[in-house]
Amino acid sequence: MAYFFEEPSHTFSEYLLVPGYSSADCIPANVNLQTPVVKFKKGEKPALSMNIPLVSAVMQSVSDDKLAIALAKEGGISFIYGSQTIENQAAMVARVKGYKAGFVTSDSNVSPNSTLQDVLNLKEKTGHSTIAVTQDGTPNSKLEGIITSRDFRVGHADMNAKVSEYMTPFAELITGKDGITLSEANELIWKHKLNSLPIIDEAGKLKYMVFRKDYASHEEHPLELLDSQHRYIVGAGINTRDYMERVPALLEAGVDIMTLDSSEGFTEWQRRALQDIHAKWPNAKVGAGNVVDADGFKFLADAGADFVKIGIGGGSICITREQKGIGRGQATATIEVAKARDEYYAKTGIYIPICSDGGIVHDYHMTLALAMGADFVMLGRYFARFDESPTNKLIVNGNYVKEYWGEGSNRARNWQRYDMGGASKLSFEEGVDSYVPYAGSLHDNVSMSMSKIRHTMCNCGAVTIPELQEKAKITLVSQASINEGSAHDVIVRNTSLRAE
């Protein structure tokens, strides 16, 4: 006879946190959101932790190199989507690892023979008023000088005059040598009162520009997540089909962490993939999933998963439950898997981090997931709304929106994610193609969300995530109290403050 769970499964919206005692030290500024990403033995430190408990979903419409850099600056990790060629995915990883905060490849360049009109045209196109003058006008050829819009007066100068007549020539420029650190570059910028500093190699070729204004932006990211060589940490999604080719390419590109990306991970395919990868590349870190119960967790833990992802059918673009009747309420799944993780830890002394993936709508859902035992959360819709996500920004019905589509939609056709060992194709859709409201920059939104988590944790008397997991008091709520939770019995006036 089939097994019946005794309790119905619940979603995050059906729960609330009940405050605990907050001491005078329990203030948002003292909250530390550091959290482990990969498994570790009792008494040891995990090989990889994050400074905020957020990762971005393995999706075409969410995680590319641009979003990965923006999220690593805030202290989290992106898992660059795997539903693309191995070469393209590895190139995205390499771009994140090659990105040097504060060092930018010059995007506005002219040659000494260009005209002042060319300079004006370029300024209009890029919006940048500092333009590098290189031998052939390309970003990395020999640096000949710098020209800015302050070097000539429009209306007075002949717009057909050559750049070489108006630029500050190389001999008069202060430059930095390739290999200097950002703080050394900033020292030069401040000492010589510069707005920008060209960085050149031994042959005098332009490598990067460092801008004074970027210094402030670098300062804004005290939690940025860096490896031992000061490069941003980045993840990538893999599948159970081509991992023997994909994994070495990603490792070569410098990937820090990978995850098997599947709608359902309690399978022989995931066990084989984990074992093959760990046998061939013992230092590679690989998460697995998704599962929604203790059996699924134990299976992946025994198979060697470095972390386990939870969630089936809860994603905002997901129609798996409608299509196949498979899934479980995300809160219940998280609670049960967290319990299994704690039992596994007590028995083996190995702590395997768990990630609640999908279905996070409000910021407080993140705090609930953490309080229920998740070490971090994976989000798709949340990140898709930001400037840095890879998709188009459009106006629909007078509002700015961004495109957001599921990996199981006809648009992405990521059949490997829904693969149950049959033909290499997507048999039917398990996701939709949609719009999400545009929400601005990742930095502004993540800062706000983390601020809310910090405040809520203080309400619960906790300044770390493990402390929250130990102290949180969580209650199920009735439908009537859910209604009571938003503004009610008043006529709401226009407000820009919306629950997130």
Backbone angles phi, psi at 333, to 5 degrees: -60, -45
Minimum Å gap between C-beta 236 and ligand IMP is 14
Binding ligand IMP (rule: CB under 6 A), the pick from 46, 76, 353, 359 is 359
283-307: b or e for each residue (b if 16 or more CB lie within 10 Å)? ebbbbbbbbbbbebbbbbbebbbbb
**What is the rounded CA–CA span in Å between residue 311 and residue 333?**
7
Question: Which is the catalytic residue, given 318, 355, 458, 460?
Answer: 318
- Mark residue 204 as left, alpha or beta (left: phi above 0; alpha: psi -120 to 50; beta: remaining): left
Tokens standing for 28?
Answer: 């948002």
List the one residue from 122, 277, 360, 369 that touches ligand IMP (CB under 6 A). 360
Q: Is 381 in the site for ligand IMP (CB under 6 A)?
A: yes
Grouping H, G, I as helix, E, B as strand and the rest as coil, residue 244 is: helix
* Cβ at position 299, least distance to ligand IMP in Å: 18
- Put the strands of the sheet holding 143-148 in their side by side order: 109-110, 130-134, 143-148, 168-169
Pairing of strands 143-148, 130-134: antiparallel
Which residue in the set 89, 109, 259, 320 belongs to the binding site for ligand IMP (CB under 6 A)?
320
d(CA 50, CA 306): 15
User: Per CB under 6 A, does 388 bind ligand IMP?
Assistant: no
Nearer to ligand IMP, 131 or 360 (CB): 360
| Cβ at position 185, least distance to ligand IMP in Å | 38
Contact region with ligand IMP (CB under 6 A), list: 66-74, 88-96, 317-325, 491-499:
317-325
Tokens of 192: 């010589």
Q: Indicate the residue whose CB is closest to ligand IMP.
A: 431
* Position among 176, 254, 265, 406 found at the interface with ligand IMP (CB under 6 A): 406
**Residue 258 binds ligand IMP (CB under 6 A):** no
Single residue of 50, 132, 209, 317 touching ligand IMP by CB under 6 A: 317
Q: Bridge partners of 176?
A: 199
Tell me how far, at minimum, the Cβ of 367 lies from ligand IMP, in Å. 16
Partner residues linked to 226 by β-bridges: 232
Q: Which of 255, 293, 239 is nearest to 407 (CA)?
A: 239
Q: Does residue 264 belong to the site contacting ligand IMP (CB under 6 A)?
A: no
The verdict on whether 318 is a catalytic residue reads yes
Options 36, 102, 112, 311; binder of ligand IMP; rule CB under 6 A: 311
Q: Are 321 and 327 in contact (CB under 8 A)?
A: yes
390 binds ligand IMP per the rule CB under 6 A = no
Interface positions, 20-79, toward ligand IMP (CB under 6 A): 57, 59
Q: Does 380 bind ligand IMP (CB under 6 A)?
A: yes
Contact call for residue 408 and ligand IMP (CB under 6 A): yes
**What single string gives the DSSP state of each residue in 259-317?**
EE--S---SHHHHHHHHHHHHH-TT--EEEEEE-SHHHHHHHHHHT-SSEEE-SS-STT
Does 14 interact with ligand IMP (rule: CB under 6 A)? no
Residue 83 or 196 with smaller CB distance to ligand IMP = 83
Q: Supply 320's token pair.
A: 């798996």
Q: Pick the closer one to ligand IMP by CB: 122 or 384.
A: 384
For the annotated catalytic residues, the residue numbers are 318, 417
Contact footprint for ligand IMP (CB under 6 A): 57, 59, 263, 311, 315-318, 320, 357-360, 378-382, 406-409, 430-431
